[in-house]
């Protein structure tokens, strides 16, 4: 198959939300009710693909956690989080772990008019988050006549001394040829007349690199206060930056800029942050009254996603039905919060927040491996943060959107694709990663291992629990109804509730799910598990009986079909998402570039998916790039086509590449 026609499967999919929000009722509380159930469940956890759970650091390696007897464990908290997540989907409960305030950031297009309006400024006082105070800056003088505005990399190399790369914000002395306006030479000077701005080289083509320079602000230049509204927009745009991706990287205030073509180290740029640094050069756009309208970390930087209603910020909570947001009142809880507990974090741990929290009715003990476990050492491939701003994957794109174009691109939150009668496009649902069992000859999925071209700083050395390992855990139950117990068992053994199209039903536990790690199957040991009525502890003796998993799950299913049919309608999609053989494991990969092959270790170029995100963005800029969406989970064909970049000209192509990372 040719490169252009090669097919891949995205690592994640979405199970749609039910048609209506969860019904919230008063929980059973923790006052002993003789008719409710208590007991103990013994559960075996079988590892189907290598499992990664972090324990203590041994040197630079994330070792496996062990208990006091030296036995490998999966912490009870990891088990509870995984089972609760599945239970929320099965019961159509609230979005317990959800950043409703998230607003995506997008790379700005290259527009000469916009760039011409920018002024370089130096940070006088950084922002103070504790006092919610934005920073102040001093404007650099505007360039006069044929003064130099930028320095080529050769002048930057002159500044580098004693293995110290030139940094953004360094003061320089320049020897200027006033005839040409070019700098003949440059050197570092603590009180130099000029200041240099080092930016990322990711958008540059070929061997060229230029750093911007301006005269340093005179001492009598008055500082300007960044308005709160401007600073708020900066912070929202910042959340889409690569520097805030949350990857495991040893970081300081700077990152080394490397020219991709030649691998030359150009200098050190400031990492994006939420305060800025004293003496840091930034770009600002001024309004007619010299008020700062925007703050940027590069001439071509980022802007926030928006809401079609200009009076609203357009955060993630505007894109789900209101009833799905996390429970905050303990007297009105969704099915999952009633079983696993609820914590109201909306009031910053005030007494009100503590009062509105509710302790769960299930306690998970650590899962312990019996016998020796020989962990697998793995240099894990780099992992970044999710990018919900990629509207072609994360949003519901219906008729009039799919295959269309616009400016800004339809992938963006706030584009014309959001201007529909029903309001902004909704988030597609709950995110699940496909199971990709590795061949018997491979200890773990191929894409889990770091490739040679990937950064060691962004990857981690870890130990994993090998396939075939069995661990045993205990769940302690108290004050549960039969319906609640049946729902818990369905989350522990979903194979009794769901029927996959292919293979078996597995759950995900631990980290590395995007890389194919963490697939497990759980089995309740009916012989060592038991339940009894709570009243047996308080003078109403009833015999403890062995647990019967299937009848309890069957009762749970019947009740759901009678009372919450709309939730049951999503179970078919969930079964597909949890199936061990739903998709071709060799084709599962994050959107790759041309040259990618399903059964080969990809090159650096083949693994760069910038072209895919650009070519599916729904941009009306020439050449047009129609919006292409992630296949719906119920579609028979989950594959997508590898894309080749159509625009190879100038910085616009480079800027488009960077946009695709959101």
Q: Are 136 and 225 in contact (CB under 8 A)?
A: yes
Would you state the torsion angle of the CA atoms of residues 431, 436, 442, 445, taken in this order, to the nearest 10 degrees? -30
Q: Are 621 and 652 in contact (CB under 8 A)?
A: yes
Q: Are 153 and 266 in contact (CB under 8 A)?
A: yes
Q: Which residue has the tokens 């009243």?
A: 535
For the cut 60, the answer to whether the pLDDT of residue 647 exceeds it is no
- Interval 642-648 mean pLDDT: 74
Give the angle subtended at the CA of 615 by the CAs of 613 and 616, to the nearest 5°.
65
Q: Alpha-carbon distance 101 to 307, whole Å?
A: 13
As a three-state string, the secondary structure of 329-380 is CCCCECHHHHHHEECCCCCCCCHHHHHCCEECCEEECCEEECCCCCCEEEEE
Name the residue with higher pLDDT: 529 or 610: 529
Q: Alpha-carbon distance 66 to 74, whole Å?
A: 8
pLDDT for 204: 56
Give the angle subtended at the CA of 6 by the CAs of 647 and 502, to the nearest 5°.
135
Q: How many CB atoms lie within 10 A of CB 530?
A: 17
Q: Are 114 and 278 in contact (CB under 8 A)?
A: no
DSSP H or E stretch at residue 224: strand 224-225
Dihedral pair phi/psi, residue 236, rounded to 5°: -65, -45
Q: Which of 91-95, 164-168, 341-345, 413-417 has the lowest mean pLDDT?
A: 341-345
Burial environment of residue 72 by CB neighbours within 10 A (0 to 12, 13 to 18, 19 or more): buried
Find the farthest-apart pair of alpha carbons in the chain and give their distance in angstroms, rounded.
101
Q: Are 425 and 417 in contact (CB under 8 A)?
A: yes
Name the residue with higher pLDDT: 56 or 26: 26
Q: Are 490 and 93 in contact (CB under 8 A)?
A: no
pLDDT for 303: 81
Q: Alpha-carbon distance 611 to 608, whole Å?
A: 8
Q: Which of 36-50, 138-152, 226-240, 307-321 has the lowest mean pLDDT?
A: 307-321
Show Cβ contacts of residue 70 under 8 Å, excluding neighbours closer than 6 positions. Answer: none
For the cut 90, the answer to whether the pLDDT of residue 248 exceeds it is no
DSSP H or E stretch at residue 613: helix 610-615
DSSP H or E stretch at residue 462: strand 460-464
Q: Alpha-carbon distance 608 to 592, whole Å?
A: 6
For the cut 50, the answer to whether the pLDDT of residue 239 exceeds it is yes
- pTM recorded for the entire structure: 0.84
Burial readout 559-568 (b: 16 or more C-beta within 10 A, e: otherwise):
ebeeebeebb
Radius of gyration of the chain (CA): 28
For the cut 90, the answer to whether the pLDDT of residue 421 exceeds it is no
Give the angle subtended at the CA of 252 by the CAs of 246 and 255, to the nearest 5°.
80
Span 259-313, pLDDT tens digits: 877 888 999 999 988 899 999 999 999 998 889 999 999 888 888 887 655 555 5
* Highest-confidence segment of 1-10, 99-108, 568-577: 568-577
- Interval 440-450 mean pLDDT: 85
Backbone conformation region of residue 270, classed left if phi is above 0, alpha if psi is from -120 to 50, else beta: beta
- Interval 407-412 mean pLDDT: 92
651: pLDDT confidence band, cut at 50, 70 and 90? very low
Q: Which residues pair with 430 in a beta bridge?
A: 15
Q: Are 27 and 342 in contact (CB under 8 A)?
A: no
pLDDT for 2: 44
HSE value, Cβ hemisphere, 13 Å, CA-based, for 358: 27
Q: Are 544 and 531 in contact (CB under 8 A)?
A: yes
- Interval 37-44 mean pLDDT: 97
Q: Which residues pair with 316 in a beta bridge?
A: none
Q: Helices 571-578 and 76-91 sit at what angle, rounded to 10 degrees?
A: 140
The CA distances from residue 135 to 46, 131, 195, in Å, are: 53, 11, 19
For the cut 60, the answer to whether the pLDDT of residue 218 exceeds it is yes
Cis check: omega of the bond before 567, within 30 degrees of 0 = no
Cis check: omega of the bond before 408, within 30 degrees of 0 = yes
Q: Where are the beta strands (DSSP E) in 481-600?
A: 507-508, 519-524, 530-533, 545-546
Tell whether the torsion through CA atoms of 337, 77, 427 and 562 is positive or negative.
negative
* Highest-confidence segment of 81-95, 231-245, 296-310, 614-628: 81-95
- Interval 170-179 mean pLDDT: 92
pLDDT for 112: 61
DSSP letter for 266, please. Answer: E
Percent of the chain with pLDDT strictly greater than 90: 62
Percent of the chain with pLDDT strictly greater than 70: 88
Q: Are 336 and 84 in contact (CB under 8 A)?
A: yes
For the cut 90, the answer to whether the pLDDT of residue 109 exceeds it is no
Q: Are 35 and 540 in contact (CB under 8 A)?
A: no
Q: Where does 13-125 have alpha helices with state H?
A: 76-91, 112-116
For the cut 50, the answer to whether the pLDDT of residue 158 exceeds it is yes
Q: Where does 464-548 have alpha helices with state H?
A: 482-492
pLDDT for 333: 96
Residue of 575, 571, 588 lying closest to 517 (CA atoms)? 588
Q: How many CB atoms lie within 10 A of CB 174?
A: 22
- Interval 627-638 mean pLDDT: 96
Name the residue with higher pLDDT: 439 or 498: 498
Residue of 15, 2, 11 lying closest to 586 (CA atoms)? 11
The token duo for 397 is 């794109």
pLDDT for 11: 96
Name the residue with higher pLDDT: 550 or 178: 550
- Interval 152-180 mean pLDDT: 88
459: pLDDT confidence band, cut at 50, 70 and 90? confident
pLDDT for 581: 94
Dihedral pair phi/psi, residue 340, rounded to 5°: -100, -15
pLDDT for 108: 80
Q: Alpha-carbon distance 190 to 170, whole Å?
A: 8
Span 518-554, pLDDT tens digits: 999 999 999 999 999 998 877 666 677 889 999 999 9
Backbone conformation region of residue 348, classed left if phi is above 0, alpha if psi is from -120 to 50, else beta: left
DSSP H or E stretch at residue 479: strand 470-480
DSSP letter for 632, please. Answer: P
Q: Are 319 and 126 in contact (CB under 8 A)?
A: no
């Amino acid at each position: 198959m040719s490169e252009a026609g090669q097919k891949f499967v995205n690592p994640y999919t979405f199970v749609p939300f039910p048609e209506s929000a969860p019904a919230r009722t008063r929980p059973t509380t923790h006052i002993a009710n003789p008719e409710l159930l208590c007991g103990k469940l013994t559960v075996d956890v079988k590892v189907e693909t290598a499992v990664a759970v972090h324990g203590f650091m041994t040197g630079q390696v994330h070792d496996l956690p062990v208990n006091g007897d030296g036995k490998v464990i999966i912490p009870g908290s990891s088990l509870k989080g995984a089972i609760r997540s599945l239970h929320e989907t099965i019961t159509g409960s609230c979005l317990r772990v959800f950043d409703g305030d998230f607003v995506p950031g997008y790379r700005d297009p290259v527009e000469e008019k916009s760039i011409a309006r920018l002024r370089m400024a130096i940070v006088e006082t950084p922002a103070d988050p504790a006092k919610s105070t934005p920073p102040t800056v001093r404007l650099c003088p505007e360039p006069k006549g044929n003064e130099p505005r930028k320095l080529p990399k050769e002048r930057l190399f002159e500044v580098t001394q004693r293995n110290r790369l030139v940094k953004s914000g360094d003061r320089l002395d320049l020897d200027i040829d006033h005839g040409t306006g070019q700098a003949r030479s440059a050197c570092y000077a603590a009180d130099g007349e000029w200041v240099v701005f080092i930016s990322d080289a990711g958008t540059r083509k070929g061997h060229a690199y230029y750093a911007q320079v301006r005269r340093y602000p005179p001492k009598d230049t008055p500082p300007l206060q960044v308005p709160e509204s401007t600073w708020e927009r900066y912070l929202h745009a910042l959340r889409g930056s690569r520097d805030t991706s949350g990857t495991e990287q040893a970081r300081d205030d700077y990152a080394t800029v490397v020219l991709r073509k030649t691998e030359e180290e150009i200098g050190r740029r400031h990492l994006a942050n939420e305060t800025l640094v004293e003496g840091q050069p930034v770009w600002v756009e001024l309004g007619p009254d010299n008020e700062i309208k925007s703050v940027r970390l590069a001439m071509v930087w980022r802007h926030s996603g928006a809401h079609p209603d200009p009076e609203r910020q357009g955060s993630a909570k505007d894109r789900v039905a209101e009833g799905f947001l996390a429970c905050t009142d303990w007297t009105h809880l969704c099915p999952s919060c009633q079983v696993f507990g609820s914590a109201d974090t909306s009031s910053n741990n005030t007494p009100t927040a503590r009062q509105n929290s509710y302790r769960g009715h299930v306690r998970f003990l650590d899962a312990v491996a019996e016998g020796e476990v020989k962990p697998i050492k793995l240099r894990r491939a780099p992992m970044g943060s999710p990018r919900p701003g990629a509207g072609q994957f994360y949003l519901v794109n219906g008729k009039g959107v799919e295959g269309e174009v616009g400016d800004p691109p339809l992938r963006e939150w706030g584009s014309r694709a959001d201007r529909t009668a029903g309001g902004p496009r909704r988030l597609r649902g709950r995110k699940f990663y496909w199971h990709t069992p590795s061949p018997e000859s491979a200890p773990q999925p191929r894409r889990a291992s770091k490739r040679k071209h990937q950064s060691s700083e962004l990857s981690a050395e870890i130990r994993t629990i090998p396939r075939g390992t069995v661990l045993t855990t205990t769940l302690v139950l108290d004050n549960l109804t039969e319906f609640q117990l049946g729902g818990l068992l369905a989350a522990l053994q979903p194979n009794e509730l769901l029927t996959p199209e292919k293979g078996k039903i597995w759950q995900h536990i631990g980290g590395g799910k995007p890389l194919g790690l963490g697939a497990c199957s759980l089995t309740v040991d009916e012989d060592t598990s038991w339940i009894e009525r709570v009243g047996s502890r308080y003078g109403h003796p009833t015999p403890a009986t062995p647990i019967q998993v299937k009848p309890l799950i069957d009762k749970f299913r019947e009740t759901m079909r009678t009372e919450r049919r709309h939730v049951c309608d999503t179970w078919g999609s969930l079964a597909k998402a949890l199936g061990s053989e739903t998709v071709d494991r060799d084709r599962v990969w994050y959107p790759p570039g041309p040259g990618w092959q399903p059964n080969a270790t990809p090159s650096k170029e083949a693994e760069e998916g910038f072209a895919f995100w650009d070519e599916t963005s729904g941009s009306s800029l020439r050449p047009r790039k129609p919006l292409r969406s992630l296949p719906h989970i119920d579609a028979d064909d989950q594959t997508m086509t590898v894309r080749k970049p159509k625009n190879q000209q100038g910085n616009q192509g480079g800027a488009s590449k960077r946009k695709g990372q959101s």
